[in-house]
Amino acid sequence: MNTSQFIIVCLACVLLVLVPSDGADATLARLKSENDALTARVSELEKTVLELKLEVAELREQLLRLEKSSRKAVPDMSPFADNGNGTITDGSCGLMWTRRSLTTGEGVKWFEASRLAKTSRTGGHNDWRLPSVTELSDLYSNLGMMTKHLPPDQRDRRVLPFVWGGKGIFWSDGEGTSKEAAPGFDFARGTRSNCSLRDKLEVRLVRKAHGPDILDKLRPRH
């Protein structure tokens, strides 16, 4: 028995005491009719609430489906394409990079880095070279564009699809401030540094990406 029904019953009891028998019967009949109408109304409202809950649940499912489909529809705007042979193509500038550093551990001196560039056959290519410091800087910037949407504590520009290791400082082919120095580029800080030729840095080689498939690498991938 809900509150309204309880009140009606109480009023009926009072009326039984205060109202004559004939009047009490009429009053009870009226109260019963009102109670039936009230019960029917409550039942109708409960049905409406249930229908609304079902509609809300259905709308939530539709929203989830729309979110999933919208994520699939957004193309991958990364300019980098993993060629699956140890090389990465940067479609924004038409350059191909070695996916990994050619050094392990501490790195190598500049002359050893130059030798590695001449002898490397990574990906079946024999025209690898040391990158210019500008090319290294551009690579850093392109990688940064991929991570700018992340929180500050997650903006490590040394990101996939490249494999990183060591200190992240790479040799360039440029001349330094003296015959005993050459510029390196620090991917951890995004800065150029003048390094002694005897310093041991990492080596990531570059070449011009050739072939008709370069146009495909420039297109966004779905």
Q: Per the structure, how many domains does the chain have?
A: 2
Is 76 within 8 Å of 86 (Cβ atoms)?
A: no
| pLDDT greater than 60 at residue 145 | no
127 shares its domain with 201: yes
pLDDT for res 2: 64
pLDDT in tens, 103-115: 877 789 999 999 9
219 pLDDT tier (thresholds 50, 70, 90): very low
Look up the pTM and report it: 0.56
Quote the domain boundaries for residue 40: 3-73
Residue 47 dihedral angles phi and psi, to the nearest 5°: -65, -40
212 shares its domain with 145: yes
137 shares its domain with 196: yes
pLDDT in tens, 49-67: 888 888 888 888 888 877 7
pLDDT averaged over the chain?
A: 77
CATH number of domain containing 107: 3.10.100.10
Last residue of a domain, one of 73, 106, 121: 73
115 shares its domain with 31: no
